[in-house]
Amino acid sequence: MNTSNSKFTWNNPPEASTTVTINFEGETRIVPAGVTVAAALLGHDDEHVCRSAADQEKRSPYCLMGVCFECLVEIDGLQNRQACLEPVFDGMSVKRQDKVVNEKK
């Protein structure tokens, strides 16, 4: 597993068969299988995953349990996905979300 751009030290790096490949903002990431999108993104040095709808401040996952909504991303074209509640899967495409999107439009 390529952990060269990970900020975490893996004591027992997962074997290649226990990783999946995701795409974040056009960049390929090899991440452990079974983790959430938020955990996968926090393992890399990303500046932020979304922006606040109120003031456009950069935000990153905070509570990691679906409460704060600081982790909204677009996954495979679907907006307003909470990265902390979505498990990674091979080939998924994740993009930053800059504002809360009204899904009723």
Number of residues that bind ligand FES (CB under 6 A): 13
CA distance 58 to 48: 6
CA distance 46 to 37: 13
Site for ligand FES in 20-39 (CB under 6 A): 38
The size of the chain, in residues, is 105
What's the min distance (Å) between Cβ of 4 and ligand FES?
26
Using the minimum distance from each CB to ligand FES, give the nearer residue, 29 or 70.
70
71 is a site residue for ligand FES (CB under 6 A): yes
CA distance 87 to 25: 17
62 is a site residue for ligand FES (CB under 6 A): yes
66 is a site residue for ligand FES (CB under 6 A): yes
For ligand FES, the binding residue among 22, 29, 70, 86 (CB under 6 A) is 70
The residues near 85 (Cβ < 8 Å, ≥ 6 apart) are: 36, 66
- Type of residue at 73: V
State the residues that interact with ligand FES by CB under 6 A. 38, 61-64, 66-71, 82, 84
